[in-house]
Amino acid sequence: MTRHKVEICGVDTSKLPVLKNEEMKKLFVRMQEDGDITAREELVNGNLRLVLSVIQRFNNRGEYVDDLFQVGCIGLMKSIDNFDLSHNVRFSTYAVPMIIGEIRRYLRDNNPIRVSRSLRDIAYKALQVREKLISKTSKEPSPAEIAKEMDIPQTDVVFALDAIQDPVSLFEPIYNDGGDPIFVMDQISDEKDKDSSWVDKLSLKEGMHQLNEREKMILNKRFFQGKTQMEVADEIGISQAQVSRLEKAAISQMNKQMFE
């Protein structure tokens, strides 16, 4: 199949090298243990196609491809510098979320929509009032109580606090039955754009044939159909905790097979 020459930032993408897994492991050892700078350069050049595959997801944002590619390369270099071989996961599985995160930070910082200074000021004052009311009443105040204390409309308090709200980590545990914890990400399904399932597919497809039928079914429903662990548990008649354990065991087995 003929590859067409496409240049991004002066790079001929048709000539980008592709590193095999074993080659990458050897390069990481050279870089991390010997401080080999050329090994780092080879890792960067050998994973530029990964950046290209990520930026395709942002083509409809109206951004210059060259800009996205450069930002994605920053995420790639960060992932190379922080990758830990002892975690026994594929580099692409680790790197893709970091590249996506770097691009999203860039898009966020260049977004014309900004939280106004006045809205931030209201939010910070509301947080101070909240702490004062908690100390005074020993309970969490409502937005109405905070608004009354500040003598401003309740809607202003709600909008201001929402504007500075930090996102909840997908890896925050929400339940533990004494075994493996269930995280926020286990409860979420997205029918439109599932970054987590897309990332996992990079490695899942390569190891699915190593699993038994029930494990294949669980991973297929979770990562290819986008269903939550609770939904899968209801469908196959086991507990959510069992689904969680089987899922983690199957992925662990696949990682071992792929790194042998």
pLDDT in tens, 36-69: 899 999 999 889 888 888 888 777 666 778 888 8
At the topology level, CATH places domain 173-259 in: Arc Repressor Mutant, subunit A (1.10.10)
Render pLDDT for 248-257 as a digit per residue (tens, 0 to 9). 888 877 776 6
Nearest alpha carbon to residue 154 among 165, 142, 139: 142
**Per-residue pLDDT at 166:** 47
Task: Give me the amino acid identity at 18.
Answer: V
CATH topology of domain 7-109: Four Helix Bundle (Hemerythrin (Met), subunit A) (1.20.120)
- Residue 4 has what pLDDT? 43
- Find, among 170, 202, 161, the residue nearest to 188 by Cα: 170
Q: Return the pLDDT at 151.
A: 92
Farthest-apart Cα atoms in the chain, separation: 73
pLDDT of residue 227: 81
Phi first, then psi: give them for residue 11, nearest 5 degrees. Answer: -100, 125
Predicted pLDDT at 3? 44
Please tell me whether the overall predicted TM-score, pTM, comes out greater than 0.75 for this model: no
In which residue ranges of the chain is pLDDT below 70? 1-14, 60-62, 109-116, 163-207, 209, 256-260
Question: What gap in Å lies between CA 211 and CA 217, rounded to an integer?
Answer: 10
Same fold, 7-109 and 117-163: no
CA pair distance 97, 54, nearest whole angstrom: 9
Query: Which helix (H) or strand (E) element contains residue 183?
Result: strand 182-183
Contact 45, 77 (CB under 8 A): no
* Contact of 229 with 240, CB cutoff 8 Å: yes
State the pLDDT at residue 218. 87
- Give domain limits for the chain: 7-109, 117-163, 173-259
> What architecture (CATH level 2) is domain 117-163?
Orthogonal Bundle (1.10)
Sign of the CA dihedral with 19 first, then 194, 192, and 100 last: negative
**HSE-up (13 A, CA, CB side) for residue 31:** 21
Strands 182-183, 173-175: parallel, antiparallel or unpaired by DSSP?
Answer: antiparallel
Instruction: Output the pLDDT for position 154.
Output: 87
For residue 89, give the amino acid letter: V
Task: Return the residue matching tokens 């109405």.
Answer: 144
